[in-house]
């Protein structure tokens, strides 16, 4: 699993940096200015994603292990003779398990990731002794608006992800969708 997590982390980090570059381009276009890429926010977003992706990969694996989308069928009763066991069969999609994963992902994970993002960016955007207060103020002032904005995109993506995307691809596919979300976050972090 470690090589998969590393690969997903690198891919997600590149996509995160790309979203910040696109946000800077969009911001320059909207203000009718020449684009001069600022590497600082690109590096901040890349660093955040590099640190945040491994725990999110583990979270997705935990959700799938605990609430499998397609649980394995129970093994057949044992016969007196021992023919080779058939390969495990999967059941149809468990909507109950998808709902459980969705509920946990959109409450626990969404809240934790929102706090971590806001605190991280608030801390890095300030300096010295003001950094902790800045991180705290970012969380206080932007948590609910950002969380509620996230609910316009991520629940639908999560349902699709939990039902049809293999667990080992969820974070990377989420990062692809997250390019647009990252543009939004980049513009929000500027404000």
Query: What tokens does 47 get?
Result: 């660093």
Sign of CA dihedral 124, 184, 105, 111: positive
pLDDT of residue 131: 95
Q: 103-157, pLDDT tens digit by residue?
A: 999 999 999 999 999 999 999 999 888 999 999 999 999 999 999 999 989 999 9
**Three-state secondary-structure class, residue 90:** strand
pLDDT of residue 183: 82
- Are 146 and 188 in contact by the 8 Å Cβ rule? The answer is yes
All residues at 6 or more sequence positions from 55 whose CB lies less than 8 Å from its CB, including other chains: none
For the chain, which ranges sit under pLDDT 70? Answer: 1, 75-90, 189-191
Over its C-alpha atoms, the chain yields an Rg (Å, rounded) of 20
pLDDT of residue 72: 84
Query: What tokens does 46 get?
Result: 């890349």
- Are 113 and 52 in contact by the 8 Å Cβ rule? The answer is yes
pLDDT of residue 54: 97
Distance, in Å, from the CA atom of 150 to the CA atom of 131, rounded to the nearest integer, reads 25
Distance, in Å, from the CA atom of 163 to the CA atom of 68, rounded to the nearest integer, reads 10
Q: What is the pTM of this model?
A: 0.86
The region, left, alpha or beta by phi > 0 then psi within -120 to 50, assigned to residue 32 is left
Domain ranges of the chain: 2-70+89-190
């Amino acid at each position: 699993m470690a090589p998969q997590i590393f690969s997903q982390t690198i891919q997600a980090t590149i996509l995160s940096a790309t979203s910040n570059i696109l946000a800077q381009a969009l911001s320059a276009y909207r203000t009718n200015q020449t684009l001069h890429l600022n590497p600082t926010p690109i590096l901040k977003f890349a660093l955040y994603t590099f640190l945040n992706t491994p725990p999110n990969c583990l979270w997705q694996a935990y959700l799938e292990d605990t609430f499998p989308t397609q649980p394995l069928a129970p093994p057949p009763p044992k016969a007196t003779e021992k023919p080779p066991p058939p390969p495990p069969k999967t059941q149809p999609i468990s909507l109950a398990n998808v709902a459980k994963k969705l509920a946990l992902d959109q409450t626990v994970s969404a809240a934790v990731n929102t706090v971590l993002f806001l605190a991280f960016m608030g801390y890095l955007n300030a300096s010295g002794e003001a950094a902790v207060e800045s991180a705290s103020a970012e969380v206080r002032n932007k948590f609910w608006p950002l969380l509620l904005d996230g609910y316009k995109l991520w629940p639908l993506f999560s349902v699709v992800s939990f039902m049809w995307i293999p667990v080992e691809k969820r974070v990377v596919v989420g990062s692809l969708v997250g390019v647009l979300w990252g543009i939004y976050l980049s513009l929000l972090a500027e404000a």
